[in-house]
Structure 1
Amino acid sequence: MGNNVSIKKGDTVLVIAGADKGAKGKVIRVLREDNRVVVEGVNLVKRHTKSVQQGNGANTGGIITVEAPIHVSNVMLVEGDGVTRVAYRRDEVTKRRPDGSTYEATRSVRVSRKTGKEI
């Protein structure tokens, strides 16, 4: 399966579909195998957690609110004031080996489709 997720952890994204449409948030986690991302403050669900007795006598339990993953197709990368699609460009770079010698290699960089600038 080709799981090419162009969104990374720490990116700011805009939700473009679903119940939280229009919400902006930071990506907390990327679940590549499921093509899903977890966005801060988006797709909040209530979890009923069983109270577990900790060593110091603290009870962790009750109803907590956590972010659930949303599909990567429902978010777009925010760049400047608007949103953009993501392209990839191969850049020629000079790399250095531990012994001090150098060699030419290519590096894949994310590029904004709108401005053409590196992200």
Structure 2
Amino acid sequence: MASFNIKTGDTVKVIAGKDKGATGTVTAVFREDDRVVVEGINLVKKHVKAMAQGQESGIVSVEAPIHVSNVMLVEGDGVTRVGFKKVEGTKKRADGSSYTVERSVRISRKTGEEI
């Protein structure tokens, strides 16, 4: 599976669709479907039946998932593409010795800084 550029908690801007230009925070990511749920974006009406006593039935607005290709990560004033870079670090073993490891980090293509 390819790496995913958008994570939960990222601030994104919608670049296509009915909510084009709106920004929001990613609340859920569905990797298998390549979709994300963005807070306050792509609201759809849903009919809800009262299941428990005291709960009301009716029509509620719910955020529906949108395709990840329709959003871009927000950085500063504008949006940026996401890249990946290998960074070396050190880890310690239980016996006290250390060793070097490589980990992949997300970087901004606009500034080159780690996200």
The bucket for the TM-score relative to the shorter chain is over 0.9
Which residue of structure 1 lines up, in the alignment, with residue 100 of structure 2?
A: 104
Q: CA deviation at 1:62?
A: 1.2
Q: CA deviation at 1:51?
A: 1.2
Which residue of structure 1 lines up, in the alignment, with residue 6 of structure 2?
A: 7
Indicate the structure with greater strand content. 1
Structure 1 segments (4+ residues) deviating >2 Å? none
Q: CA deviation at 1:84?
A: 0.4
SS, match of residue 94 in structure 1: strand
Q: CA deviation at 1:99?
A: 2.4
Do the aligned residues in 2 keep the contact of 1:12 with 1:77 (CA within 8 Å)? Answer: yes
Q: CA deviation at 1:3?
A: 4.2
Which residue of structure 2 lines up, in the alignment, with residue 86 of structure 1?
A: 82
User: What is the TM-score when the length of structure 2 is the normalising length?
Assistant: 0.95
Provide the rounded CA distance (Å) in 1 between the counterparts of 2:2 and 2:102: 22
Provide the rounded CA distance (Å) in 2 between the counterparts of 1:7 and 1:110: 10
Give CA-to-partner distance per residue, 1:69-95, whole Å, 9 cap, x none: 000000000001010000000001001
Identity of aligned residues (%): 64
Unaligned runs of 5+ in 2: none
Provide the rounded CA distance (Å) in 1 between the counterparts of 2:89 and 2:56: 51
Provide the rounded CA distance (Å) in 1 between the counterparts of 2:54 and 2:4: 40
User: What is the TM-score when the length of structure 1 is the normalising length?
Assistant: 0.92
Which residue of structure 2 lines up, in the alignment, with residue 75 of structure 1?
A: 71
Provide the rounded CA distance (Å) in 1 between the counterparts of 2:94 and 2:26: 35
Q: CA deviation at 1:100?
A: 1.8
C-alpha RMSD of the superposition = 1.0
**Structure 2 vs 1, CA of residues 61 and 3 (structure 1 numbering), >3 Å: closer, same or farther?**
farther
